[in-house]
Homo-oligomer: A and B are copies of this chain.
Amino acid sequence: MGLLVVGSVAFDSVETPFGKVEEALGGSATFFSTSASYFTDVRLVAVVGEDFPEKHINFLKMRRIDLRGLERTKGKTFRWQGRYGFDLNDARTLRTELNVFENFRPKLPEEYKDTKVVFLANIDPDLQRDVLTQVSRPDIVAADTMNFWIEGKRDSLIETLKSVNILLINEAEARQLAGEANLVKAAKKISSFGPETLVIKRGEYGVLMFRGKSVFSAPAYPLESVFDPTGAGDTFAGGFMGYLSNVMDWTETSMRKAIVMGSVMASFNVEDFSMNRIRNLEYAEIEARYREFRRLSHFEDL
């Protein structure tokens, strides 16, 4: 029954110390669905403007992503421009043009309403809840968010979290959302808002997953050249949720493997600009890197 994602489709202009791209395909829903498409059927809900070229549509179709929920409307597609310094940890946003995304009201096609696994990418928490009212009976709802909503729409975000099973969030934002510097305490606090599983993204330091009393720490893949971290978080989420939607199993072991699969996909994504590296991966490459994560982090049964 596939995996539903609601988020943004955008044009990214990105500058890093290693080069730049202009108006490359980007957006949370795009990175997410491309990454997830290696594992499961993806149903996308997003909006683009009249300027969105056929070649991008064809690419998403080639990845077998269901585009019945991709609305095309009068106006220009969402644009983001950013720059990274040598540490590649934080992007400096130079320009954001919301364009058609400003009035985005996600509307699920009838055929999507039975979706069992839902990912609410980083959009207005009011819209995230609105999406949930349109899904008939989801098994699992995962969501992402950011400092902008934590600061500006905290009450709405807390309301959304009541219906969220898995929250994916950056480390600094987890601390901010919980109002707590210690990450273990912050995780407990956030779980009390609703999500039984908390996935804390730490960039080059990997990922921490908190579930009840269990904690799992996954490393990031140590890469000799990181070209462009744009979309790494959404690519991670796509691998993570795509794997789970494939196995439809929520045991600790499957959740951990899903975290690693997300990390695998994110590690590919940062190797090149935009989505260049994850456009056409071989499944053998994905499996090989998954095994490398095992070699990277296991210290018994090597």
Give the contact stretch, choosing among A22-30, A100-108, A255-263: A255-263
Are B260 and A299 touching (Cβ within 8 A)? yes
Residues of B with C-beta under 8 A to A202: 205
Q: Convert A174-210 into 0s and 1s, putting 1 for each residue whose CB lies closer than 8 angstroms to a CB of B.
A: 0000000111110000000000000000101110100
Answer whether residue A253 sits at the interface, using C-beta atoms and an 8 A cutoff: yes
Q: Convert A3-29 into 0s and 1s, putting 1 for each residue whose CB lies closer than 8 angstroms to a CB of B.
A: 000000000000000000000000000
- Shortest Cβ distance from residue A128 to the other chain B in the assembled complex, whole angstroms: 28
In Å, the complex CA distance between A228 and B173 comes to 24
Given A202-B205, A205-B202: A218 in contact with B181 (beta carbons within 8 A): no
Given A217-B206, A219-B217, A302-B253: A182 in contact with B296 (beta carbons within 8 A): no
Most buried by B among A260, A294, A299: A299
In Å, the complex CA distance between A116 and B12 comes to 57
Residues of B with C-beta under 8 A to A214: 295
Are B302 and A182 touching (Cβ within 8 A)? no
Are A222 and B215 touching (Cβ within 8 A)? yes
> How many copies of the polypeptide does the oligomer hold?
2
Q: Report whether over half of chain A's contact residues are helix, strand or loop; otherwise say mixed.
A: mixed
Answer whether residue A250 sits at the interface, using C-beta atoms and an 8 A cutoff: no
Residues of B with C-beta under 8 A to A206: 205, 217, 219
Given A299-B297, A302-B252, A302-B253: A185 in contact with B217 (beta carbons within 8 A): no
Are A259 and B299 touching (Cβ within 8 A)? yes
Q: Convert A240-262 into 0s and 1s, putting 1 for each residue whose CB lies closer than 8 angstroms to a CB of B.
A: 00000000000011001101100
Given A182-B225, A184-B223: A218 in contact with B299 (beta carbons within 8 A): yes
Answer whether residue A300 sits at the interface, using C-beta atoms and an 8 A cutoff: yes
Q: Convert A218-232 into 0s and 1s, putting 1 for each residue whose CB lies closer than 8 angstroms to a CB of B.
A: 110011111000000
Q: Pick the residue among B208, B257, B302 that contacts A299 (CB under 8 A).
A: B257
In Å, the complex CA distance between A272 and B295 comes to 33
Are B256 and A299 touching (Cβ within 8 A)? yes
Would you list which residues of chain A between 24 and 72 have a CB under 8 Å from chain B? none
Q: Which residue of B lies closest to A184 (CB)?
A: B224
Answer whether residue A298 sits at the interface, using C-beta atoms and an 8 A cutoff: yes
Q: Which residue of B lies closest to A295 (CB)?
A: B214
- Shortest Cβ distance from residue A250 to the other chain B in the assembled complex, whole angstroms: 15
Q: Which residue of B lies closest to A188 (CB)?
A: B224
Are B298 and A300 touching (Cβ within 8 A)? yes
Are B222 and A217 touching (Cβ within 8 A)? yes
Are A87 and B299 touching (Cβ within 8 A)? no
Given A205-B206, A219-B219, A301-B301, 9 further pairs, Cβ under 8 A: A183-B222, A184-B224, A208-B222, A214-B295, A217-B219, A218-B297, A253-B302, A256-B302, A259-B299
Top 8 nearest A-B pairs (CB, nearest first) are A217-B219, A256-B299, A205-B205, A184-B224, A86-B181, A184-B222, A301-B301, A297-B297
